[in-house]
Structure 1
Amino acid sequence: MKKTLMFDALREATDEEMDKDKRVLVIGEDVGHYGGSYKVTKGLHAKYGDLRVLDTPIAENSFTGMAIGAAMTGLRPIVEGMNMSFLLLAFNQISNNAGMLRYTSGGNFKIPIVIRGPGGVGRQLGAEHSQRLETYFQAIPGLKIVACSTPYNAKGLLKAAIRDNNPVIFFEHVLLYNLQEDIPLEEYVLPLDKAEVVKRGLDLTIITYSRMRHHVMQAVDILVQEGYNPEVIDLISLKPLDIKTIAESIKKTHLVIIVEECMKTAGIAAELIAQINEQVFDELDAPVVRLSSQDIPTPYNGKLEQATVIHPQQIIEAVKRLVKLKA
């Protein structure tokens, strides 16, 4: 095991896959000589050269379209969005091309492309740089969507995404890049479609993903000291949702809280509640509670920005209310 920062874990995954497979390449703004805005591609240009670590103009629709074309010819491109919000400029390429070409070509083309980069609410990055785009892409057929949350799962999931023959949208949170954790020295790969049961418990199920996993665990540490015993699930896979793991937990606890940084209206929690109601409604002892961000553009002002997202104290209060209601 070795202590590794998340951005280093992502860099190691990219480097290992590029070394193993000459078809893997990186495309994006400042990914080459500069090493990426968050240093995920640091040192790769010196090792692999211009053709495999390609600096592009500021033209997301163009280089994303080029990467999709490269994938159609058999290459395995990794597109880095300097900020995932910028990839709204490539929404047409991601939806009409990446998501649909395998189907519309009758299976003649595979689209083995990873589109990755930082997103989420940072620290005073402003509204346009603080967007959570997971539900924008969730409605697109043909995509897989992953949200990493630790250095360990970041590395294992990125390696799996690079090897997958389908387009994968890979969300990293801008505030988690400096998160440090022991990860194995030997190679490992994690499944793209499985949730992680972070903590076993009996009182209720807390479902979360990305940065909110850490807010949830801060709350859980306090709750456990007060005698509560929640179960915590990190979704990891946002599309498809691992409803099997979620259903097994609900059949045990019968109470659910969903904690997300996504907007409340039409967010990940909204889709998850729909699937829970369809599949395990009779197991619920109370309606599902969702704790989501405010439905407003993220303010630049630091205090207002903090007020838009969920914090551990709100999670603690929601757990106590729900458990008390059941009692």
Structure 2
Amino acid sequence: MSIATLRTSYLAASLASVSRSMLKQQVPIKSQYAATNSPPPPEGFMPGVANSKFIRNTHHEALRNPELAGVANGETKKMNTFQAINDAMSIALATDDTACVFGEDVAFGGVFRCTMGLAEMFGRDRVFNTPLSEQGIAGFGIGMAAMGSTAIAEIQFADYIFPAFDQLVNEAAKYRYRSGGEFDVGGLCIRTPCGAVGHGGHYHSQSPEAYFAHTPGLKVVIPRSPIQAKGLLLASVRDRNPVIFMEPKILYRAAVEMVPVGDYELPLGKAEILTQGKDLTVVGWGAQLYVLENAIQLAQKKMPGLSVELIDLRSILPWDVETVCNSVNKTGRLLIAHEAPKTQGFAAEIATTVMERCFLRLEAPIQRLCSYDTPFPLIFEKFHVPDMIRCAEGIERAMKF
């Protein structure tokens, strides 16, 4: 045995001994996980989602939505967001023989379990793992879609979509245009988890929707709940344009609804008005909507009688200009909130368009409540993202101007 091997063995043994000693001396931490001895889930927690007025907890509440008229007489099943996404992909695979699901670890169920059971149900030639190469995953999907297949690709975290940026922006988005409409990659859908989780740090918390919203030829979609996730994902998979479908991972288990079990789609490019109001328009998407819901309730306690119109944008590209501007023309005030940094965030695009179209109806400066212009911090996350307090203060500024 060489001296180097002896040193390595001695070092490993010493580290193991020190680790055991530290564990024995460690002071127990009182937390919600202490009783079960289980770590917090990787997708984090989001308090208040279960009690949200926007969560459809019963069969009748779920099917009351006019957008679900096609399944109004069908069954519903209790699902969280990742189960609803899994159900959408199962339907896509069952109804389209050319459809394939692929990405890092998807054959094993995926990091967040979104593809659990699909490989066993549809075979490993249709649901399969890829090498750890986001550029390769996107390029492979473009090639599949160019040949007429339906490619449902997963980028494991939105933070890691940037190696695929060239493929998506310069190839997928421009394929139809540069061939004069002769070829396209409309069968491509890129799924990717996004957003803050409470402990993700700068490589597992980003919301990069604005990068892609600057690219003609792509569509960008972000759902807020299981019902929305299933319908919007099926629409994204079947849309004849490449779609980037960003899933707020903090909602994978936090949001639970009675979801129609049938096959249904929700419209892309169409916002949804969640609450009607006459004093202020508030726009958000994804997990931020639940923050805004609580912020509105907090503001209403300070300003009794405040009437707020809350809009879920749903599609970032194309976004529903008409719905937002019609609302602002009615209320005269606008607040936009998102988790991405403020500078060049998508709120800037919305604010500019509203200024151009609604200038004479505005009663106050447009409020943008966003994350700060820094890399996403770990221990300071709760100060970094726009929380209920910051959003409520923004509402108050808009109303008191």
1:232-251 mapped onto 2 (5 Å cutoff): 232-251=310-329
Q: Deviations over 1:27-84 (max 9, x none)?
A: 100000x101111100000011122112001011112101100000000101111101
TM-score, normalised relative to structure 2: 0.78
Determine which of 167, 172, 182 is the counterpart of 2:247: 172
Amino acid of the structure 2 residue aligned with 1:268: F
Aligned residue in 2 for 1:201: 277
Question: Counterpart of 2:365?
Answer: 287
Kindly indicate whether residue 221 of structure 2 is the aligned counterpart of residue 156 of structure 1: no
Match of 1:53 in 2: 127
Instruction: State the secondary structure of the residue aligned to 1:232.
Output: strand
Q: 1:101 aligns with which of 170, 175, 178?
A: 175
**Equivalent pair of 1:121/1:131 in contact (CA under 8 Å):** yes
Q: How does 1:90-169 map to 2 (within 5 A)?
A: 90-111=164-185, 112-169=187-244
Q: In the TM superposition, what are the counterparts of 1:245-264 in structure 2 within 5 Å? A: 245-264=323-342
Cα shift readout 1:168-199 (whole Å, capped 9, x = no counterpart): 01111121101111222333210011011011
Instruction: Point out where structure 2 has 5 or more consecutive residues left out of the alignment.
Output: 1-75
What do the CA deviations read for 1:138-166 (whole angstroms, capped 9, x no partner)?
11120001111111110000000011110
State the identity as a percent: 38
Is residue 2:161 matched to residue 1:87? Answer: yes
Counterpart residue type for residue 137 of structure 2: F
Q: Which amino acid aligns with 1:242?
A: D
Secondary structure, aligned partner of 1:145: strand
- Give the Å deviation of 1:224: 4.1
**Which shows bigger deviation, 243-252 or 116-125?**
116-125
Unaligned runs of 5+ in 1: none
Q: How many residues align?
A: 322
Question: What is the 5 A alignment of 1:301-320?
Answer: 301=379, 304-320=380-396
The CA deviation string for residues 123-145 of structure 1, in whole angstroms up to 9 with x for no partner, is 22121222211111111120001
Letter in 1 for 2:389: Q
Matched, 1:277 2:351: no
Q: CA deviation at 1:277?
A: 1.3
SS in 2 for 1:121: coil
Which letter maps to 2:119?
H
* Contact 1:223–1:229 (CA under 8 A) maintained in structure 2: no
**Residue-by-residue CA offset, 1:182-221 (whole Å, 9 max, x unaligned):** 2223332100110110110111000111110010111223
The alignment's TM-score, normalised by the length of structure 1, stands at 0.96
Aligned partners of 1:159 and 1:189 also within 8 Å: yes
Classify the secondary structure of the residue corresponding to 2:233. Answer: helix
Q: SS at the partner of 1:177?
A: helix
Q: CA deviation at 1:324?
A: 2.0
Spell out the pairing of 1:61-72 with structure 2 (5 A cutoff): 61-72=135-146
CA–CA distance in 2 between the matches of 1:262 and 1:283? Answer: 28
- Kindly indicate whether the alpha-carbon contact (under 8 Å) linking 1:213 and 1:234 is maintained by their aligned counterparts in 2: yes
1:73 maps to 147
RMSD of the TM alignment (CA)? 1.2
Q: Which residue of 2 aligns with 1:9?
A: 84
How far apart are the structure 2 equivalents of 1:187 and 1:262? 32
Structure 1 residue 323 corresponds to structure 2 residue 399: yes
Partner of 1:190: 266
SS at match of 2:382: helix
Q: Does the Cα contact within 8 Å between 2:364 and 2:399 map onto a contact in 1?
A: no
CA contact (8 A) 2:91 2:263 kept: no
Letter in 2 for 1:244: E
Please list the CA deviations of residues 202-261 of structure 1 after superposition, one character each: whole Å capped at 9, or x if unmatched: 110001111100101112233445332111001111011100000110111010011111
Which amino acid is the alignment partner of residue 220 of structure 1?
A: I
Structure 2 residue 114 is matched with structure 1 residue 36: no
The alpha-carbon deviation at position 274 of structure 1 amounts to: 1.2
> Does the CA-based 8 Å contact 1:80-1:116 persist in structure 2?
yes
